[in-house]
Structure 1
C-alpha cells in the first residue's frame, strides 16, 4: 500500500464564489526573434503565490497559507468510529500544511492528508451560520490526489447546529446537512451529493442522494492533477455539480434524489404506446458482422498442457482418470480467434423493455400510518442551517 495525499484549498460562500488558484501552467513564454531569425525564448519571471482576498457574502474562505492553523483554527477529531475494528476505529489520520509534492509554487501551501488506512477528520466553524432562505449555497474545494486513488473517500460535510457538538469528537454519527465530494473503491467511482431531509411532521432525518452522473469520473482519481469540485444549491430547489467548471450533474431536489423527497406513484392516466414491444430482446445478432480472416475454427481456445505429467501418487481407482490441466492454446496467440465463430451481439434498436407508467406525486399517499404524519414538502431547499465545515477522509490505499 502507498500513502495517498491530498492538497486542498476551499471556499464556502452564499452567493458569490471567489477562489484564486495559481498554476505553473499559467506562466506565459513570450516568443521573440533575433537578427538571425532563429527562435529564442525570453526568460519567464518566477510565479509567486499570492493569497486571494475573498469578496462578497463569504461564510468561509480558507487557503491553508498558515501551517499553524491545524490545532488552532482547524480542529482534528480524536474520536472513535462505532462498530469498527479497533485498529481502524480511531480518527487518528495525520494532517499537515505543506507545499505540493510536484511542481510546487513558492508560498503556495495546501492541507495534506498524510496517513493510509486511517480515518481522518478536520473541521472549523463558519464565520457565521448559513441559513437556507433566499440565497444559493455555493461550496467548492480543490483536491489533488498526489499519488492517485484506489480506495477511499475525500468528501466534505457541512454540519448542523448541535448545542452538544464538539469538533474534537466528530464521528460519522455527527449530524450534518450536506455531504459532497469524491469517493472511490475499485472501479466504483462516485461524486456524492447527499442532503439530509427533515420530515416536517416527526422531525426525523433521511438521506437523499443525487442520482449518479453519466459522466465518467475515472481520470479525476488517477491523473494526480488538481481538480476543482463545486456544488451549487438554489432556492428554487435545483442544484448542479461541476468539476473544473464543467457541469457533470444537475437536477431538482424534488425530482432527482433517491429516495425522493415526496413519495411517487404511477400516473393512472398514462397509456402504453401501441408500438411498445415488451418481448423485444435487449440485444440482437449483428447481421453485418463478418468472421475475421485467419480465425481458427478447428482450434480449441484451451488445450491440455502437453508438458504436464501425471503425479506419481495419482491412483486412478481412487482419483479417477487423470487429465492434464488446460492451458491457453498457443496456436491462438497470433490468430484473431479460435473455436466456433459466432457474430457478436449489438444493442437492439427496438428494445424498450417492460412498459411502466411514469411516476407522479401520489395524491393519496399516506405511507405507514402514524397519527398526523402525512406531509408534502414543496421546498426541500429549506434545509437545516449550517454552522461548521468538515473535511472527512479515509484512504485504504
Structure 2
C-alpha cells in the first residue's frame, strides 16, 4: 500500500539511496520520486550523482549548494558554543543533518510532495536527526525510511537494484562507511569495529601521518569578530575559504584525528574515526580568546551550556526550543569575543602561543610579579578571612 504519492528523497548516489528509488515506487506505491543531493563542500562532483538518480527512476534530480549556509548558520554557531560531544567530537557530521532536513522540507513544499525519505538504517544516529528535524520543521510531512524497514542485506539490496537496471558497484566496495563534508570526515565499520584495531592510514584523507608532516613548526594567526572566525594570518576570508584553507594548513601537520568510542542516540556504542582539522583548532582558539575577554563567572557557567548544546546537536534536537534559547545566551556572550589567537602547528599538535584583544580583561599591572605590580597585597588578608570564614566555623563545630 502506498504511503505517499510524491516523495523527496535525500540522495547520496550510494547503493541504499539508489535502491530506495525503485523500492519506494514498486513496494510502497509512490508515483514520483524527486531526489535531493546536498553539496556541503565535500569536494565531490555531484553532476554524476544527479544523472544517476534519473537513471534510477527519479522524475527530477536536485542538487543544492548549501556550503556557505552550512558554515555560517551551523558550524559558526557550534564554534561559538565550543561544542565537543563527549569532550572530543566537534560534530562535523551531526551539524549537516538539520540543514539537509531543512532542504528536504523546503523542496517538499516547493514541489508539492506529501512525504520526504532518507536511506538511514535503524541503528544509526542520522535517522533520529532527520526524522526529528523534519517533524520540527513540518509536523504534517510524512517521513519514509525504506532501508530501516526493508530487511535486506547489502548484497540483497544490490540484487534488488539490478532488477531495475541499477548498476552494482564495479569494484569491491570499501569495508568502511564514510561521510564527508567541508568540516570533516567520519569513518566507521569494517575492521574498525574491533576497538583494538589500529586505524590504517588508508582511512585518513584530510590529515597526514606524523611521519609525513613537516620537520619545522608553522604558525597561524586566527582572527575573530564577536566569536566568528574571520581571518587567517591577517587576511580576511569568507566562511568557506577560511575553513577550507585552515583544513589544509592544519591537516598538513597531522592535526585533527580523533579515534573514539562514542555513545549513540539509540543506546549502543560505536567506534568512530573523525578528521576535523580546522574545526578542532577553531574551537580551541575560540575558547582561549574567551578566556581573555570574558569574566570568570561567564566562562565557567558557559561550560555547562556548551555541553548541553553539543548533546542537542548530536541527538538531533537542533530545531528544539532549548537550543534556540541557549543561542540567545551564547550570542550575548560573544559581543566582546574579538581578537587574534596565535597557534603553533607541529607534529600533530596545535599549541596556542599567543593571544591579543582590544577587549582583553587581562591586566598586566595586576598580574605582574615585577616592580610594576599594582595589586594591593595587604587587602588579601581580609579577603581570605571572610572567604574562609564558613570553613573555619564548620571546622570548629566538628572538632569541638
**TM-score normalised per structure 1:** 0.25
Q: Which has the higher strand share?
A: 1
Q: Which has the higher helix share?
A: 2
Higher relative contact order (CA 8 A, sep 6+): 1
Structure with the greater alpha carbon radius of gyration:
1
